[in-house]
Amino acid sequence: KNEVEQSPQNLTAQEGEFITINCSYSVGISALHWLQQHPGGGIVSLFMLSSGKKKHGRLIATINIQEKHSSLHITASHPRDSAVYICAAWKGSNYKLTFGKGTLLTVNP
Amino acid sequence: DAGVIQSPRHEVTEMGQEVTLRCKPISGHDYLFWYRQTMMRGLELLIYFNNNVPIDDSGMPEDRFSAKMPNASFSTLKIQPSEPRDSAVYFCASSSSSYEQYFGPGTRLTVT
């Protein structure tokens, strides 16, 4: 079993829908990262959070340390949100990140 | 700032050849990471440096892989000899003490 599990693996939505991507981890962490990878490959860091909630535009990330679970929400989804979303756990003892396999999101117009 | 710079962006080589991937981190960042991404295994950390010193190379697959960071603005990842199973996208990322990592555009390596 991977230390970081994401669900769903694939997600198709219609423009305007509310999107939720989930990430569960089995180890103690200091922080969790959410990354976005567009077709063509570039990886962008969206959030790094260790507690509570963070919001940036239409993106919201939450984390529950006790339950070892994080969610990434996209409100009013748009086709340009189509990408792979990856969560990564940072244990804090070093700078190593452990990655989930990613969620492929496709938003249709 | 130009961000993390990687070269080449694409590399096609034959099995047995030496491959060298290059990375220039963001100026002022003291951590540099090399990752490999494949369909089967996703993103994996190969090695990371702090202040040009390798800290953890436990992700380096085998002796055919080596990485160096001769100065704060340059790092290389070398594969010698290359094999078809090394085909992947290799990312370099850099970070400062803020822990957020900034990724380069990646090098897509194809070994035939």
* Mean pLDDT for the stretch of residues A60-79: 95
- The pLDDT of residue B50 is 92
> Of B39, B51, B103, B108, which to mutate for an interface test with A (greatest number of A Cβ within 10 Å)?
B103
pLDDT of residue A91: 78
Residues on chain A touching B101 (C-beta within 8 angstroms)? 33, 45, 97
Residues ≥6 apart with Cβ < 8 Å to B53: B69
For the cut 70, the answer to whether the pLDDT of residue A57 exceeds it is yes
Contacts of B73 (CB under 8 A, 6+ apart): B24, B25, B27
Q: Which of B29, B44, B98, B99 to mutate to test the interface with A (most CBs of A within 10 A)?
A: B99
| pLDDT tens digits, B29-53 | 999 999 999 988 889 999 999 999 9
Token pair recorded at residue B55:
């800290």
Task: Quote the CA–CA distance of B35 and B40 in Å, as a whole number.
Answer: 14
From the CB of residue B16, how many other CB atoms can be counted at a distance below 10 Å? Answer: 10
Integer CA distances (angstroms), A14 to A7, A77, A78, in order: 18, 8, 8
What pLDDT is attached to residue A30?
A: 82
Q: How far out from the chain centre does Cα A53 lie?
A: 13
Nearest to B106 among A41, A48, A86 (CB): A41
Q: Confidence class of residue B55 from pLDDT cuts 50, 70 and 90?
A: very high
pLDDT in tens, B70-104: 999 999 999 999 999 999 999 999 998 667 889 99
Say how far apart CA B101 and CA B49 lie, in whole Å.
13
**Cα(B62)–Cα(A83) distance, rounded to whole angstroms?**
32
Q: How many Å lie between the alpha carbon of A15 and the closest alpha carbon of chain B?
A: 27
The pLDDT of B65-69, averaged and rounded, is 97
Contacts of B93 in chain A (CB under 8 A): 43
